[in-house]
């Protein structure tokens, strides 16, 4: 518990302020149509907020809208509505919850979601492409797909200056120029490169702070939980990317976490086990899901979710504002590629992270909805265990659909995992 005035003001500020900013963002979305403002539907991996902000387009993240229906425990109403409309129980729950939001005219537990004037997506997830086609059919809007070249081989990452990287960068830059032309058509506004520089400046500050924030959790005890508190931070990092408010929030958050780390204030009173989380959380029972670990003194010190769902901002890329479009292409390429690599070639990064964050174990959480992130997790786990003697837990559920979440079964597996961790600690002692 905070015990000085300073501590009371600083500790917990990130969670409080994050929730406030997030609510205000939904309020702005709710009233956007009344003010005659336009919206773009985008995704967390490669949102292209930097460009869209220049055209005063609100960015709507249907993935975030969907997960909020689960956190607020109404997802089943939305999923059932989409299934009754004809969508298979088998597909990504995010898509179905969003279809129901659209069928309800934007009605959502946090406000009203405006209709899109344009949709922008990348190839980071194959579902994005089919999902955007739904909006195309509903609203007859232009859909822009930004094709980001991924790493071709495990362990081989081309870097700025390499001929292969430069070819990829030019390919992305050309597409960004096409996106700008499309935004001009949709909004009837001229592109303003100085405004882009300003937005990119804020994005730089956020990205640098985000990287440092993740690193504060190398401290023992860790100042934040990468799953419970991390999810709040993710909401803000996506919603306010490239804004002055977002930039200020992440500077303050970094100060808070550094303050805690310097004074040995952990997010958890008794951090006994430091864990890495891989995948997407179980939102239908989010609080309970986190408790199943914290009850045993388990704290998530890092999570792959904080990498890919932050659009790859964990790499901390800094745009060069003297050549904005080239640099934007480079940043998008590096950050979205890193998000995709985390899914396909995650094992080495996980081993590295487990060592540098002094992790006692890794929790893999594949989910029914998301084949993109989940399909390779069993292989990743095997590859990690071949490289490192580290306990790994593999539990399955879903991010939206409570019908496939068995809390009792999960608890049994989690309890047994912690028993194993305890025995291991005893032996080591």
Shortest spacing between CB 388 and ligand SF4, in angstroms: 26
Of positions 92, 236, 328, 395, contacts ligand SF4 by CB under 6 A: 92
Shortest spacing between CB 61 and ligand SF4, in angstroms: 11
23-82: which residues touch ligand SF4 (CB under 6 A)? 63
Determine if 94 is a binding residue for ligand SF4 (CB under 6 A): yes
CB 355 within 8 A of CB 385: no
Determine if 125 is a binding residue for ligand SF4 (CB under 6 A): yes
364-393: which residues touch ligand SF4 (CB under 6 A)? 369-370, 372-373
Identify which of residues 196 and 399 has a Cβ nearer to ligand SF4 in the complex: 399
Tokens of residue 22, six digits: 């997030």
Shortest spacing between CB 44 and ligand SF4, in angstroms: 8
Helix (H) and strand (E) counts for the chain?
18, 10
Helix residue ranges per DSSP H, 62-125: 62-71, 75-85, 93-103
Identify which of residues 4 and 126 has a Cβ nearer to ligand SF4 in the complex: 126
Of positions 38, 65, 69, 127, contacts ligand SF4 by CB under 6 A: 127
Identify which of residues 305 and 319 has a Cβ nearer to ligand SF4 in the complex: 305
3-state SS of 331-396 is: HHHHHHHHHHHHHHCHHHHHHHHHHHCCCCEEEEECECCCHHHHCCHHHHHHHHHHHCCCCEEECC
Shortest spacing between CB 369 and ligand SF4, in angstroms: 5
Shortest spacing between CB 300 and ligand SF4, in angstroms: 19
Q: How far apart are CA 181 and CA 120, in angstroms?
A: 13
Identify which of residues 67 and 209 has a Cβ nearer to ligand SF4 in the complex: 67
Identify which of residues 266 and 366 has a Cβ nearer to ligand SF4 in the complex: 366
Q: How many other CB atoms sit within 10 Å of the CB of residue 92?
A: 26
Identify which of residues 54 and 95 has a Cβ nearer to ligand SF4 in the complex: 95
Q: Strand 39-41 vs strand 58-60: parallel, antiparallel, or unpaired?
A: parallel
Q: What are phi and psi of 69, to 5 degrees?
A: -65, -35
Q: How far apart are CA 197 and CA 183, in angstroms?
A: 17
Determine if 187 is a binding residue for ligand SF4 (CB under 6 A): no
Q: How far apart are CA 355 and CA 369, in angstroms?
A: 30
CB 55 within 8 A of CB 108: no
Q: Which residues make up the interface to ligand SF4 (CB under 6 A)?
A: 63, 92, 94, 125, 127, 369-370, 372-373
């Amino acid at each position: 518990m905070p015990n000085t005035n300073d501590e009371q003001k600083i500790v917990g500020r990130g969670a409080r302020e994050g929730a406030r900013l997030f609510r205000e963002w939904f309020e702005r979305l709710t009233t956007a149509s009344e003010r005659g403002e336009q919206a773009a539907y985008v995704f967390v991996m490669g949102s292209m907020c930097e460009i869209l902000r220049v055209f005063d387009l609100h960015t709507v993240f249907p993935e975030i809208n969907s997960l909020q229906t689960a956190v607020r425990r109404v997802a089943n109403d939305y999923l059932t509505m989409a299934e009754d409309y004809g969508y298979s129980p088998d597909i990504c729950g995010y898509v179905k919850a969003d279809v129901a939001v659209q069928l309800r005219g934007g009605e959502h537990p946090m406000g009203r979601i405006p209709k899109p004037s344009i949709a922008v997506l990348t190839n980071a997830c194959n579902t994005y492409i089919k999902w955007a086609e739904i909006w195309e059919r509903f609203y007859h809007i232009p859909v822009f797909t930004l094709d980001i070249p991924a790493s071709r081989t495990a362990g081989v990452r081309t870097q700025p200056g390499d001929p292969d990287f430069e070819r990829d960068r030019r390919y992305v830059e050309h597409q960004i120029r096409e996106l700008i032309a499309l935004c001009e058509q949709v909004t009837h506004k001229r592109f303003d490169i100085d405004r882009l520089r300003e937005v990119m400046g804020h994005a730089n500050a956020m990205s640098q702070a985000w990287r440092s924030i993740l690193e504060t959790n190398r401290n023992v005890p860790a100042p934040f939980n990468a799953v419970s508190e991390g999810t709040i931070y993710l909401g803000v990092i996506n919603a306010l990317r490239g804004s002055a408010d977002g930039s200020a929030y992440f500077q303050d958050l970094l100060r808070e976490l550094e303050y805690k780390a310097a004074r040995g204030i952990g997010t958890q009173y008794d951090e006994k086990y430091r864990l890495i989380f891989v995948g997407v959380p179980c939102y239908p029972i989010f609080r309970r899901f986190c408790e199943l670990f914290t009850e045993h003194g388990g704290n998530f010190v890092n999570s792959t979710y904080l990498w890919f769902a932050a659009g790859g901002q964990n790499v901390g890329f800094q745009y060069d504002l003297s050549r904005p479009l080239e640099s934007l292409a480079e940043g998008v390429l590096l950050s979205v590629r890193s998000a995709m690599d985390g899914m396909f070639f995650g094992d080495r990064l996980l081993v590295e992270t487990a060592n540098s964050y002094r992790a006692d174990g890794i929790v893999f959480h594949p989910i029914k909805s998301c084949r993109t992130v989940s399909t390779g997790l069993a292989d990743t786990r095997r590859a990690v265990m071949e490289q490192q003697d580290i306990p790994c837990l593999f539990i399955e559920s879903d991010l939206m659909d409570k019908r496939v979440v068995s809390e009792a079964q999960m608890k049994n597996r989690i309890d047994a995992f912690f028993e194993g961790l305890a025995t291991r600690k005893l032996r080591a002692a």
